[in-house]
Amino acid sequence: MAEYIGIKGSTIQSLSSDPPAPIAGQVWYNTTSTVLKGYAFSYGTGAWASGGNTNSKHSHAGGGGGTVTAGLIASGIPPANTPPGSACEEYNGTAWTEVNNTNRYTNQMGNTGAGPQTSVLIFGGAETPKKATESYDGTSWTTKNAMNEDHSMAGGAGSDNTSAIGFGASPKNTNSESWDGTSWAATSALNVDSIQRAGAGTATAALAITGDDTPKQQVEEWDGSTWTAVTAVNTGGEGMGAAGTVATAIKFAGVPNLTQTERWNGSTWTEVADLATGRAYVGYCGAAVSSALCIGGTTGPTGNSTATEEWTAPAPFAVKTFTAS
Would you write out the chain's pLDDT as a tens digit for each of its 325 residues? 555 455 554 578 898 988 887 887 789 999 998 989 887 766 567 899 999 999 998 888 877 888 999 999 999 887 666 778 899 999 999 999 999 999 998 888 999 999 999 999 999 998 889 999 999 999 999 999 999 999 998 999 999 999 999 998 888 889 999 999 999 999 999 999 988 999 999 999 999 999 988 889 999 999 999 999 999 999 999 999 999 999 999 999 999 999 999 999 999 999 999 999 999 999 999 999 889 999 999 987 778 899 999 999 876 667 878 876 5
Dist. CA 64–CA 81, nearest whole Å: 22
Distance in angstroms (rounded) separating the CA atoms of residues 281 and 276: 16
**Which residue, among 266, 220, 227, 217, has the nearest Cα to 244 in the 3D structure?**
266
Q: Are 231 and 266 in contact (CB under 8 A)?
A: no
Q: Report CA-CA distances (Å) from 273 to 51, 87, 136, 259, 306.
A: 16, 31, 32, 9, 21
In eight-state DSSP terms, residue 77 is B
Q: What is the pLDDT of residue 55?
A: 94
Using omega within 30 degrees of 0 as the cis cutoff, is the peptide bond preceding 314 cis?
no
Half-sphere exposure of residue 234: CA atoms within 13 angstroms, side-chain side: 14
CATH topology of domain 47-312: Neuraminidase (2.120.10)
Supply the pTM of this predicted model.
0.85
Residue 64 is predicted with a pLDDT of 84
* Domain range list for the chain: 4-41, 47-312
CA distances from 267 to 103, 214, 312, 313, 317 (A): 40, 21, 21, 19, 16
pLDDT at residue 243 in the model: 96
In the prediction, which pLDDT does 117 show? 95
Asked whether the beta carbons of 216 and 209 are under 8 A apart, the reply is no
Beta strand 13-15 pairing with 27-30 = parallel
Given this model, what pLDDT does residue 314 score?
75
- CA neighbor of 221 nearest in space, from 241, 238, 206, 203: 206
State the Cα angle at 283 between 86 and 285, rounded to 5°.
Answer: 115
